[in-house]
């Protein structure tokens, strides 16, 4: 009975630590990669990296986590001008 009670206390304590272990805005990409088990890079340019993991998108600007959302990546639009001579 004492072992069960101790186990419950330990589990509750560990569950209380989960938000601390969650990715937070401001952390570096290397810190995020160290905490994340599976992540796919979906976008990369000069200043931005976007990774997808667990149904969420993680946006890194200059190597720091800038925002987290569950939305979709913005589509780039190109306008083609057809000039006939």
Which one, of 33, 12, 11, 14, lies nearest residue 23 by Cα?
33
Answer whether residue 38 is part of any domain.
yes
Answer whether residue 13 is part of any domain.
no
Give the model confidence (pLDDT) of 66-75 as tens digits.
999 886 656 6
Q: Mapped to the 3 state alphabet, what secondary structure does 59-71 carry?
A: EEECCEEEEEECC
Higher pLDDT, 14 or 62: 62
pTM of the predicted protein model = 0.60
pLDDT, residue 61, reads 93
Answer whether residue 59 is part of any domain.
yes
Answer whether residue 44 is part of any domain.
yes
Answer whether residue 15 is part of any domain.
no
Mean pLDDT of 5-11: 75
Q: How far apart are CA 71 and CA 29, in angstroms?
A: 20
- Number of domains composing the chain: 1
Answer whether residue 67 is part of any domain.
yes
Give the model confidence (pLDDT) of 10-59 as tens digits.
767 666 655 556 788 889 988 888 888 788 889 899 899 999 988 889 99
pLDDT, residue 65, reads 92
Answer whether residue 77 is part of any domain.
no
DSSP element (H, E) containing 52: strand 48-53
CB-based contact 41:50 (threshold 8 Å): yes
Q: How far apart are CA 9 and CA 80, in angstroms?
A: 63
Mean pLDDT of 62-83: 81
33 is in which domain, residue-wise? 22-71
């Amino acid at each position: 009975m004492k072992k069960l009670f101790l186990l419950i206390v330990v589990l509750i304590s560990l569950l209380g630590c989960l938000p601390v272990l969650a990715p937070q805005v401001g952390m570096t990409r290397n810190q995020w990669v160290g905490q994340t088990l599976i992540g796919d890079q979906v976008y990369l340019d000069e200043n931005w990296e976007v990774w997808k993991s667990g149904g969420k998108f993680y946006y890194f600007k200059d190597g720091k986590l800038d925002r987290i959302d569950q939305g979709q990546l913005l589509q780039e639009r190109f306008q083609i001008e057809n000039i006939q001579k």
